[in-house]
Structure formats: C-alpha cells, structure tokens
Structure 1
Amino acid sequence: MTEPEPLQRLQKVLAAAGLGSRRACEELIAAGRVTVDGRKAQLGDRADPRVSVVYVDGLRVVTDDRMVHLALNKPRGVLSAMSDDRGRRTLAQYVPGDVTRLFHVGRLDADSEGLLLLTNDGDLAHRLMHPSYEVAKTYLAQVPGPVPPAVGRRLRDGVQLEDGPAAVDRFRVVSTDRDRALVEVVLHEGRNRIVRRMLAEVGHPVERLIRTRIGPVALGDLRPGVTRPLGREELGGLYRAVEAGAR
C-alpha cells in the first residue's frame, strides 16, 4: 500500500506550481484568492499536492508534479495512436521518452493535421472527449469553392449522416480563391471524421483539414511534429470548460 504524501505548506505547493515566489503565494492566500478542497484557504494551511484540489482566482491549479499536459501539432500521415502493428507512424515518436501512458484528446484521422492534447490525467481526458461536456473544437478546412451562404445555414441547422444528425456550432468562410475556399468550423461533436462527413454532405468535400483549437488551447504557431507544455491559464481554462459542461 502506497504511503500518503506528507502535507506541505500551501504557499510552497503554489510556488512549485508556478504561481510565483512563496511570499507572493502567501499574499494570494491572505487576499482570499485561494481555495483548497472547496474552502477558502488561510495562512498556515497545508495541502497534499497530489490529491488536494486547489483553485486560484476561480481557476483550477494543477499541483501534482506527476501530471503531464502537452499540446502537439500532429503532422499529416500520423495515426492518432501510440502504437501500430502495421508499422505506420504514430504519436509515440513525438512524446518525451520519460513519459508513459499518455491519453490523446481529440482524435484526428491520419490525413488530418493540427492540435492534439496529450495527458496522463485520465479523468480530464475522458471529460474533454465526451460530447456531454461540450468542449468546442475549431477546424480550418480547405474545400472546393465557392461556398454559398446556404451551406453555413444547412450546417448550423444540422445535416443527416449515416449515424445520426449533426450540426456545427459556428461556420464561416475565411477566404476564397477561384475554385477553392478556406472555411472555419466550430463544433463540440467528436464522432469519427465528423467534419469531413458533414462538409461532404453539403457538397464541399475536404481537401485539407487542420484543427486549430480545443477549448481554450490554441494551436498558434506550434510547428508540425512539435509538442509544448500547456500553460497554467490553458489548464485552468480546460478544467473550467469541463466543469461548466458538467452542470
């Protein structure tokens, strides 16, 4: 049986999580901006960084140093899997060698590119992947053009697919150039190849697909095949998104 971790002073836990110096963290606590396990913290409180639930200014703070949260720009031609018995390229080659058992959030088919989240936080991964939590995902798709306004209305109203109806949350034409267009699609569905199938259903099959955002986490200028740790604000935003969806 694993022995529980010894309790640590709360300001030390906060400082280790990147909230500033211990003195600055003491000031956060004194100002009433910190809660631990559902109650307002006070100076002198202690916490277990591996199990205590800590919020600062209403945002969840990850204090467990075992937790890994990464953003990856998945290149085209890579499977959303950690291994493949047919020898195809997988996510494993982009994961740091000392990290094991990562869940990938937001599966992308091999031909699609862009943002994936990688984490060993199984509960957060489950919530982010479950449609009932309504975490929005944003995509840029290159499609045959032009794209008339009626296409956006159809997608927002919902189209019928073989596995049931599907609708986007938002749709807009970003740019158009002769016979091609770049469109942005926002939705919280996670069904297999859902964006490709919806756009094909309205007569604009996808030629290239890039996911640019999952909830508060943006792809930004992250290069293909590169990972980066999620920032504190991004992590807090992800927790806020799944907490809002649970209500």
Structure 2
Amino acid sequence: MRSSGRNSNRNNRGAGKGRDDQKKRAERPRPEARRYEQAGQEGGPGARPAGAGKGQGGKPGGRPAGADKQGQGARKRSAPARPREYEAQIEERNRSRHTKPALKLPKTFGEPEGERLQKVLARAGMGSRRACEELIDRARVEVNGSIVREQGMRVDPEKDEIKVDGLTIATQSYLFFALNKPAGVVSSMEDPDGRQCLGDYVQNRETRLFHVGRLDTETEGLILLTNHGELSHRLTHPRYGVTKTYLAAIQGPLPRDLGKQLKSGIQLDDGFARADHFRVVENTGKNYLVEVSLHEGRKHIVRRMLAEAGFPVDKLVRTHFGPLALGDQKSGWLRRLTQPEVGRLMKEVGL
C-alpha cells in the first residue's frame, strides 16, 4: 500500500513538472520570432532574447507592464538619429563623387585625333562634303605628299599639308582679299592726314589685315590684303620674282623699238630697271594703251621707266599680280579670294 502511494505521488510530481515545462516552452518565442537588443535596446546582437526572462512588472522579455496595450509600432523602436557631423561627412563624400576630374582614357577609348579630311576641305571652301568626297575618290587630294585613296582619313589642319590638284589649300584662319583700288586712295591701312586709305575698305573685319606691296596713290588696280605674313613676304621679295602687269595710257607716236628699250633696261636714278614684257594693246590716233610686265617693285617704277623713255603716263592700272587677274572687278570692290586662287599664289612662291 505504501509503495503504491509513493508511486502515485511520484507520477503526480512528474506530471506537474511536465506541465510546467510545457508552459515555459509555450511562453518562450520561436527562434524566428526572437528580437535582440543592442547596448540595452531591442534588436541588438548579444542581448537576451525577448521572453527569455522576467523583467519589470513580471512580464516576459523584460518589458514593463502595460506594454502589450501599445500597438505594433511601439514594439519596433526606431534607431537613434545620427550626429550632424556624421551627416555632413556623408554629404561631403557624396559631393566629392561628382566633382572628380574627368578620367583621361587611353586613345583607344577616346575621341580619334584630327578631323575628317572631307570636313576640312569643305570648310576651306572646296565645296560640299559630298563634293569633297568625290575629289578624294578621283585621287585629286594629297596629304603631306601622298595621294589619298580612301575615305575617312583624319588630318590635323594646323600641321598637315593638304593639296587639291597640286595646289595647297589654306586650312588655317587666314584671310585673303583682292581690292580694285581706286585712284586717290593711299596704300596704307591708316593715314595720319585723314586721307582715304585701304583700311577704309576693311573696317568691319575682326582680323587685322595688311596690304601686299603698294600702289601709287594715283595708280588703280589690283592689290592684295591678307593676314598671312609669310605669303605676303614672299610675294613682295625680289628673290621670288613675282610678276606684276600694268596697263598704261600714254601719248604717241611710239617708236618700234620702245619694247626693246624697256626690256634691255632703262637707266634710273637708283639703277637699271628692266621690263619682262611689253606690248601695245590699243591705239587710237595718238592715244596708246600699252601693257608692261615686270617683277621689280621699286617706287613708281613703271611711271619712271616710261617717262625716262619719253612717254609720261596719263593713267596706270595694275591688272595682274602673279597668277591673279583683276578681271571685271569694279573699282572700289573688295572680294575674297577662292581656294584655287590662294593655292596658285602659294605655288607661285613655293609654299
């Protein structure tokens, strides 16, 4: 009898202990539902899991009494605000990302050097891009002495020598003008006495121009204006022998050997002066219109030569400067030279 009573007591205690264990396991949250605290706050690693013990008020998880009456938002407490210094550092770091200098990529990944040849030709006045491509297809364009046979070639206009039909084109920012200078205009860009000068015809030009050589104040005709110093120097230097042609109105009759005298040389105060070519263009009674060509550029040289030979000049017009002709350009008109004309000038002096 005693043994059976003992066994029943043991069973009752075991059953009670089992119920307590089940109650504890029911109160303990599942692993996926556990929340951790950091430095004494919820949600941090290393803190005791919620419901693992009893805190204030005897509630599991250490929460004070009455916490269950708050909503779900109260359970998820927000993290403390970051200091202003830290926010400023983040803002500065974000700004620095956008203020970094551009990366210098290798040439393989960067823009190709130079410009397309047809674009340079078109800008130089050789026609539309399509027309310039046709010039390349016809093998009429050469770069640095080699004929270009394929499209898409890139060039440096500042360094490469580009020619079309053997004539160099001006690819840089050079300007070339031809003026039919009227009589009475001074061959200078400015005149201190207030007389009409060449500068009056180019006042609206942003680039400073200068005249190539001179013409007497009473002499009319072709005079060049440019900002290309080397070309101007060579066109006026006796070494290159650029020929200038004039039409002179004189009074006759003329001796048959006048042309021979001028070609042989006329003695002037500053030495002999010789003409390269002479011919009679027109004759009406005693009025003669003669053509004189020479490569010298001394002051009043044509007037002085004809006056020394006994035929003072009534009117003088320069009609040609090297390969350029005055043509039907009206007196006082300024025109821009074409690229072929510039090319012929450069070829004349070896540029």
TM-score of the superposed pair, with normalisation by structure 2: 0.64
Once the two structures are TM-superposed, the CA of residue 117 in structure 1 deviates from its matched residue by 0.6
CA deviations over 1:169-210 (Å, ceiling 9, x no partner): 110111222332111101111111111111111111111100
Tell me which residue corresponds to 1:59.
Answer: 167
- Determine whether 1:142 maps to 2:249: yes
Tell me which residue corresponds to 2:344.
Answer: 237
- Determine whether 1:123 maps to 2:230: yes
Q: 2-side partners of 1:29 and 1:187: how far apart?
A: 38
Q: 1-side partners of 2:136 and 2:338: how far apart?
A: 21
The structure 2 residue matched to 1:48, chosen from 143, 153, 156, is 156
Once the two structures are TM-superposed, the CA of residue 62 in structure 1 deviates from its matched residue by 1.3
Checking the alignment, whether the CA contact within 8 Å between 1:147 and 1:173 is kept in structure 2 is no
Q: 1-side partners of 2:151 and 2:342: how far apart?
A: 25
Moved over 4 A (4+): none
The one-letter code sitting in structure 2 at the alignment partner of 1:217 is: L
Q: 1-side partners of 2:154 and 2:332: how far apart?
A: 40
Once the two structures are TM-superposed, the CA of residue 59 in structure 1 deviates from its matched residue by 0.9
Q: 2-side partners of 1:202 and 1:111: how far apart?
A: 20
The one-letter code sitting in structure 1 at the alignment partner of 2:211 is: H
- Determine whether 1:82 maps to 2:82: no
Checking the alignment, whether the CA contact within 8 Å between 2:125 and 2:338 is kept in structure 1 is no
Q: 2-side partners of 1:21 and 1:101: how far apart?
A: 28
Once the two structures are TM-superposed, the CA of residue 96 in structure 1 deviates from its matched residue by 4.8
Checking the alignment, whether the CA contact within 8 Å between 1:131 and 1:188 is kept in structure 2 is yes
Q: 1-side partners of 2:301 and 2:159: how far apart?
A: 37
CA deviations over 1:33-91 (Å, ceiling 9, x no partner): 22223333353321222443210111111122x21111101010111000111111110
Q: 2-side partners of 1:111 and 1:75: how far apart?
A: 8
Once the two structures are TM-superposed, the CA of residue 160 in structure 1 deviates from its matched residue by 1.5
Q: 1-side partners of 2:304 and 2:139: how far apart?
A: 49
The one-letter code sitting in structure 2 at the alignment partner of 1:176 is: N
Higher strand fraction (1 or 2) = 1
- Determine whether 1:11 maps to 2:118: yes
Once the two structures are TM-superposed, the CA of residue 165 in structure 1 deviates from its matched residue by 1.1
1:149 aligns to what SS in structure 2?
Answer: coil
% identical aligned pairs: 55
Q: 2-side partners of 1:62 and 1:102: how far apart?
A: 16
Q: 2-side partners of 1:165 and 1:91: how far apart?
A: 31
TM-score of the superposed pair, with normalisation by structure 1: 0.90
Tell me which residue corresponds to 1:205.
Answer: 312
Q: 1-side partners of 2:301 and 2:193: how far apart?
A: 25
Higher helix fraction (1 or 2) = 2
Higher relative contact order (CA 8 A, sep 6+): 1
The structure 1 residue matched to 2:139, chosen from 28, 32, 42, is 32
Greater Rg by CA: 2
Q: Which runs of 5+ in 1 are unaligned?
A: 1-5
Q: 2-side partners of 1:226 and 1:20: how far apart?
A: 24
